[in-house]
Structure 1
Amino acid sequence: MLQQLSAEELPKVEKEISDFINTYTSHEELKKSMLYSIEAGGKRLRPLIILATVKAFQKELTTPVYQTAGALEMIHTYSLIHDDLPAMDDDDLRRGKLTNHKVFGDALAILAGDGLLTGAFQLLSETTLSPSETVLLIQLLAKAAGIGGMVAGQAGDMAAEKNQIPLKDLQAIHHRKTGALLTYAFVAGGILANQTEYVAELLETLGGHIGLAFQIRDDLLDIVGTTEELGKQIGQDEKSEKSTYPSLLGLEGARQALAEELGQAKIVIHQLAEVAEFQPQIFEEVLTLFDLEK
């Protein structure tokens, strides 16, 4: 099912993004910069989770679903452009290609990120969903991406460089930096599938476990993976002297932590199957994306 969603439905999400950028961006070089990072590829994990969640609850994929997924991918891509800048992570590669600022310069890269960030909310505001659903999706996305979510997580991540921090502090950083947008993907999918508040709470819990699993896997791949697997240069965490799960727990401890988060996620999936018309197989496929071997 995931392979089918990726092959047949993700292109519709990508079309929503490219159509939006081509329609509204009046500066040609800015447009090129935005499309460069959007079209750089990647797993499209966050929009895929929205699509998978809607399908798991046996609902139809509609234009508002594609637009919501597109808005989330725009936010994610903006964050990557800004994270890669010399003032932050100073990365040269992203998704196997030169980072945006290496091609277009720092100033235009910043503006491209700004354009994707603000454009995401414009795209989301233009859906045909009810006003209450639209406002809720916008509010939750602003919270997930903003000063209590992803932005705060990035600030905490930078502050933790060259410092060994306790595990609970590292988890708090990554709940925000990585987990917030992944959690939004599950919760937004539930809203688009007209699910109850209780189901939304379960989806939020699931997103928290998936967010930590994603980060633990990412930390491990920075040591045991390849540049091709990671999509960026390996060894950057050690170079930046960042606190990571392997640095705090060791390689085997980090592997065990990954398995524990995925195990907790499976429990939540079984709970969802008990309270809603829900196809757990789709979410079980999602979990395989976070196996270290993938």
Structure 2
Amino acid sequence: MTDSPMSPRLTEALTVVSQAVNSELDRLLPVSESPDSRVHEAMRYVTLDGGKRLRPFLVMQSASLFNVAESAAIRVACAIEMIHCYSLVHDDLPCMDDDDLRRGRPTCHKAFDEATALLAGDALLTKAFEVLVNPATHADPAVRCELVADLAHASGGQGMVGGQMIDLQAHTLDLDVAGITRLQQLKTGRLFSFSCEAGAVLGKAHGELRLALRNYAHDLGLAFQIADDILDVEGDVAEVGKRVNKDADAGKATFVSLLGLERAKSQADMLAEQACRHLDPFGEKADLMRDVARFVVRRRS
């Protein structure tokens, strides 16, 4: 891993997508003046606060590979960001990771309160599926049903939630590299897979092209998590935007603790390049997705 900056073309493309996603999220999550306004305020607090928007970006890029209308892709991009943000809100709660800082700001339960944070996460989770099932996302109900089923699988007990359950017990488990890999494939990798395959679903593509995106997402997700583990050891709170050294303090096994720092860095680089090779069938159209794979192992936050 190096400190090389994000490529200029990726910086520009991420900025464009981030602005589009923010605009659509602002529209999908309007300000409320009713008695339930506090939960809407909290939902907006955690979704409109920035972040890298990697998952929405991957949705938009995978959709572009199949010439999917941007108006459809942006709705799926917002749905996955709602799921991601809900998961961060719940992860930060005292009963989970008990974090006070997220993206350089107070976490939702600190800015509001625990009950409001819990409800805001619940509301974002359900709103994501409301967005997907709306005919505005795709004219074909079969496509909408597939998106709903795929996101439910990726985010539920056999996906992100299942991974979080293992993570909560990780300090009591004797996890080896295979165990950590499975944990992270569930907790982090499933949402990356959904993001990368969503374009193929929207474009009604199957077979080798969809498999290529799935394999890309698999390696990207692991590279991302190894980089996260490295940041937890080497990162600075001001730069990372959240508490560091959490895993070591909690006694959890990580890729760094099992492989060592230098080997973990090499593994992350190898996975990033392997992810890029999975995109060969798409040629130059997938260059920005290749840039993402290389960026995730160089990022400092």
Q: TM-score, normalised by structure 1?
A: 0.92
Query: Could you tell me which residue of structure 1 aligns to residue 277 of structure 2?
Result: 267
- For the Cα contact (< 8 Å) 1:82–1:110, is it kept in 2? yes
1:162 is displaced (CA, Å) by: 4.5
- Distance change (3 Å), C-alpha of 1:85 and 1:134: same
Query: Residues 116-265 of structure 1: matches in 2 within 5 Å?
Result: 116-128=124-136, 129=138, 130-265=140-275
Structure 1 distance, partners of 2:298, 2:17, is: 26
Provide the alpha-carbon RMSD of the alignment. 1.8
Query: Could you tell me which residue of structure 2 aligns to residue 292 of structure 1?
Result: 298
1:83 to 77, 88, 91: 91
1:44 to 53, 57, 61: 53
1:193 is displaced (CA, Å) by: 3.5
Q: Which amino acid aligns with 1:78?
A: Y
Structure 1 distance, partners of 2:91, 2:74, is: 26
Q: Which moved more, 1:136-145 or 1:57-66?
A: 57-66
Structure 2 distance, partners of 1:32, 1:135, is: 30
Matched position secondary structure for 2:227: helix
1:168-209 residue CA offsets vs partner (Å, 9 max, x unmatched): 010000001000001110000222234233211111111111
1:153 is displaced (CA, Å) by: 0.4
1:14-59 residue CA offsets vs partner (Å, 9 max, x unmatched): 222222221789511111111111122110110011112223x162
Query: Could you tell me which residue of structure 2 aligns to residue 281 of structure 1?
Result: 287
1:4 to 12, 23, 27: 12
Structure 2 distance, partners of 1:291, 1:165, is: 23
- For the Cα contact (< 8 Å) 2:25–2:48, is it kept in 1? no
Query: Residues 92-111 of structure 1: matches in 2 within 5 Å?
Result: 92-111=100-119
Q: Which moved more, 1:239-248 or 1:226-235?
A: 226-235
Structure 1 distance, partners of 2:288, 2:107, is: 33
- For the Cα contact (< 8 Å) 2:101–2:241, is it kept in 1? yes
1:247-274 residue CA offsets vs partner (Å, 9 max, x unmatched): 111101211211221122122122444x
- Distance change (3 Å), C-alpha of 1:8 and 1:127: farther
- For the Cα contact (< 8 Å) 1:161–1:243, is it kept in 2? yes
- For the Cα contact (< 8 Å) 1:17–1:70, is it kept in 2? yes
Structure 1 distance, partners of 2:69, 2:20, is: 10
- For the Cα contact (< 8 Å) 1:140–1:184, is it kept in 2? yes
Structure 2 distance, partners of 1:134, 1:100, is: 31
Structure 1 distance, partners of 2:48, 2:289, is: 26
Q: Which amino acid aligns with 1:49?
A: L
Q: Which moved more, 1:211-220 or 1:58-67?
A: 58-67
Structure 2 distance, partners of 1:115, 1:280, is: 34
Query: Could you tell me which residue of structure 1 aligns to residue 21 of structure 2?
Result: 13
Q: Which runs of 5+ in 2 are unaligned?
A: 1-8
1:113 to 121, 130, 139: 121
Structure 1 distance, partners of 2:46, 2:132, is: 20
